[in-house]
Amino acid sequence: MTTATAETSTADMSGEHHSFEADVSRLLHMMVHSVYSDKDVFLRELISNAADACEKLRYEAITTPGLNAGDGESRIRLTLDEEGRRLTLEDNGIGMSRAELIDALGTIARSGTRAFMERLQSGKPARAAEERESEGGKSEGDTAQLIGQFGVGFYSCFMVADRVDVISRRAGTDEAWIWSSDGKGSFDIRPAELSDAPTRGTRITLQLMEEAKTYASRWTVERIIKAQSGHVPVPIELVEKPGEEPKRLTDGTALWTRSRSEISQDDYNDFYRGLSGQYDTPALTLHYRAEGRVEYTALAFVPTVAPFDLFDPDRKGRMKLYVKRVFITDDADILPRYLRFVRGLVDTADLPLNLSREMIQESPVLQVIKKGVTNRVLQALEKQLANARSDYETLWSTFGGVIKEGIYEDFERREQLLALSLFKTTASGEGLRTLEDYVKDAKEGQDAIYYISGAQLDQIKASPQLEGFRARGIEVLLLTDSVDSFWAMNAPSFKEKSFRSITQGAADLKRFSLPDSAEGADKDVDKTAAADGFIGLAKTILAQEVSDVRASDRLTESAVCLVAPEDGYDRQLEKILQGAGRLQETAKPILEVNPAHPLIATLAAIGEDRAALREDAARLLLDQARVLDGDKPADPRAFAERLSRLLERALKA
């Protein structure tokens, strides 16, 4: 967590001077000097923060009604001073105490500071903008997307302001505080006169830079609000000049309470951007009202761009929960973790407002809502897969690795999630295939769905274990996501066909004939005395390193390969578990030998009088199999010495 470090001034004990930590100071400098496109985002971020403060007040006022006394209607008010280059934004929300000001405004991007800085330092936003400009396109949105994704919302105002003053008074208190900073590495905080502070809430005053003075003009501010914050569920007012009467720009009507027929897709898009903090266009929009035993309204969006926290270890969802339009929480456990990329909200009147957030999460009513919303999201995905395959493939390329977590975790919907899944296969070319496609095209008598998993697609495509399947025209799933090894091992079947790793156990391929052109390779060469003799010898030499050495029916081109025993884990899952420290000792692999390979035939012909050569050859074959499996030789020095001896013999021959 990035925090502020206090350095109290001895010259003036009425106030305090604080220095940001080095990371925070560097981030501010980079934001002001490196992030330069679409500065409009700062206003949306300030309005979103103000709306959240109003919603938090509504929630706290349920148990403490006096908090909103005297100024009951929530509002956000912007005051313009074009001549003085000042923009003021004020809300009558919950407000902040001194400690909350230091914590909230002295701490930047709790979850994403370092990732944000890395993106800036890489120059990606700037380069992307330059590329679009050179192509005659717009460069807007790069900054907005970064800021929205990495949670540095408040500090985006330093892209347009030389100085920022924040006066805040927490609801129900008699103290107000002023927070001030020029964004250059430090901030001051001191008590404020109550006569200068809001009755409650927060007032932010931006002293705009000369080049940003247009943000104090009515036309610019109205344009930004209508484009980006028009559906904030708190009314927004505008005062064109200090002392004038406010003009209401938005009425604060919650978008989700309106009929779908009254809402355009542009309205949905604007609302999504304000809700999610992202600037992409949603790939799917789901808005419906459920009636019956439990009544609620749901508005959910599937993003086009992956949220920055998609692979956060906590895997929390980001669905907001409202009860009778009162904001309850912004990370309600409404959707399962494998749908955590979905952004949206649920509003219901069937939950009591006087329950704690923890008790609401355990409510049977919320359980009904969770089931209903999850089913509707999955149905929307099914519909897109059936009716807009190319769009679904794009969505899948972004979120497929997360959705597949559900195959492992959600037993009730496993079959449904398997049907939604898309795969690269040995038969897919550059495209993707469903399991329905796979089953439809399976070989006669094929009772399994074969798969191979690994870290990289090119590597598993070149795996020797694939050779016998490819030669017989048997399709194999090519799995490259980390979660694949887990769900594939736990998913019992799809359409009565079990899942089987081709790197584990016996392949049992002899029941599938090779094409006529390859019949010569399918003769019983594996049963020749010479091959059996070498296999027996290798089994003895390698007894400490492998559990077995046997003839292979899965190899057609390579001399050797490694497979896992029938019981336990396949090769890739073993590597993942061992790398994570969850598997202390792996099972000894099986070395499979291709009796039809010329190298094996040559080695089988070596006489017993050349025992050292035969041992070197057997151990080199094992190391070769390890390399083909993406590993290193177990003992690189011994491997190099054996290889040197073999080359020396060959050159002398």
Q: What is the pLDDT of residues 279-310, one digit of tens each?
A: 899 999 999 999 988 999 999 999 999 988 88
Residue 427 confidence (pLDDT) above 70 = yes
Model confidence at 434, pLDDT cuts 50, 70, 90, reads very high
CATH architecture, range 16-64+73-241: 2-Layer Sandwich (3.30)
Residue 152 confidence (pLDDT) above 90 = no
Higher-pLDDT residue of 270 and 130 is: 270
Count Cβ atoms below 10 Å from residue 533 Cβ, excluding itself. 14
**Gap between the Cα atoms of 276 and 124, Å rounded:** 22
Span of 321-335, 390-404, 499-513, 584-598 with lowest mean pLDDT: 321-335
Share of the chain above pLDDT 70, in %: 84
Kind and range of the H or E element at 549?
strand 548-551
CATH number for the domain formed by residue range(s) 255-387: 3.30.230.80
**Gap between the Cα atoms of 470 and 426, Å rounded:** 7
Compute the half-sphere exposure of residue 600: CA atoms within 13 Å on the CB side of its CA.
32
Q: For the chain, what are the domain ranges?
A: 16-64+73-241, 255-387, 518-652
pLDDT at 206: 97
Topology of the domain covering 518-652: Four Helix Bundle (Hemerythrin (Met), subunit A) (1.20.120)
**Gap between the Cα atoms of 182 and 165, Å rounded:** 9
Interval 24-76: pLDDT, tens: 566 666 655 554 346 887 898 898 889 888 988 988 888 888 888 777 789 99
**544-563 average pLDDT score:** 92
**C-alpha distance from residue 512 to each of 447, 469, 474 (Å):** 12, 9, 9
**Gap between the Cα atoms of 627 and 211, Å rounded:** 60
**326-333 average pLDDT score:** 78
Q: What is the pTM of this model?
A: 0.70
Kind and range of the H or E element at 489?
helix 484-490
Mean confidence (pLDDT) of the chain: 83
